[in-house]
Structure 1
């Protein structure tokens, strides 16, 4: 998980709260012989705006609630479970990660979830979200750590809010000026320096 700079002396970080919806759906085809059900990320819903989040206390837990299918998911069989109030904070030292998300084909939320052996559904572990991010860098680190990471498109309200933060905090590193080719040392195919002579070939000794 990403480690960010200590900003305890700074004003409260921009944040929103979201609800994560997971779907438990039947497995079809040959795989159903070994696995009857699977869990997938169904949606991430905006729970509170930045102003509302600043005035609220972080959620003590994310107890799941059985819910009806979210809009656009009615065609998917199975059951839906909502895990409320995940806080998504923005860190100034990860502005590049948010910039990369915004400039992807579809800006999104990334959600890490794990099977929880203490929460069972029909005797099988329930999929429990662990954290939510808008950072491309966070998602990459979690994938490198072999975590289960899924993504879902962010709403226009969220991308507008994220873009405002990026515009105010992201400064691309200046590109280093490339050294002109004429100033680079010449080498032969063995990597040895090449000596250049200005004398004309075939010219005899000057008198």
Structure 2
């Protein structure tokens, strides 16, 4: 499936309608004895009304299958502006897709992966990875990167760097985190000669 141009909305709050293409590819080599296939994210494309709402098989041969998963909305939120900034300022801005394998087969003879969410936020993808989810990325097209950059320019505010306090101003604590004190006075008490 050739990626056609994604039409970005005029307003910065309008979502993009996209579809996700997942690819099952045959593995070769020693590991293929135990795992003959693997699933990967192939691309994110513009969603079209003709795609319907259910996943469908686009292509199948001896080496691969491609499944189209329509019906995703990519929205931009002001509180994620820093995550978008990190994505758009990277050398290769991309889509991030969280996907999970089906427990049981629903539309194919065996379980297929189901995309759950598509985002452009670096931080959102990071939170998913921290939660042990499967997240993959593919390059975002130029028109989406431009749309994202316009949103970032309008809503991302660089936080001023705070001056770090010198270590000498930090409160003293013992190894358990309890407050500690240091004294320069000579200890009082009985000396070695006092009995």
TM above 0.5, one fold?
Answer: yes
Q: Does 1:118 align with 2:118?
A: no
Q: Does 1:67 align with 2:58?
A: yes
**Root-mean-square deviation (Å):** 3.1
Q: How does 1:1-207 map to 2 (within 5 A)?
A: 13-47=13-47, 62-68=53-59, 77-116=63-102, 117-119=104-106, 121-122=108-109, 124-178=110-164
Aligned length: 163
**Residue deviations 1:37-80, cap 9 Å, x none?**
211100001237xxxxxxx9xxxx841122249xxxxxx93111
Q: Is the 8 A contact 1:62 1:86 kept in 2?
A: no
Q: Is the 8 A contact 2:47 2:71 kept in 1?
A: yes
Counterparts of 1:125 and 1:159, CA distance in 2: 33
Q: Secondary structure at the match of 2:112?
A: strand
Change (3 A) 1:148 1:178: closer
Q: Secondary structure at the match of 2:147?
A: helix
Q: Gaps spanning 5+ residues in structure 1: where?
A: 1-10, 49-55, 70-75, 186-190, 195-207
Instruction: Give 1:118 deviation, angstroms.
Output: 3.5
Once superposed, which parts of structure 1, at least 4 consecutive aligned residues long, lie more than 3 Å away?
191-194
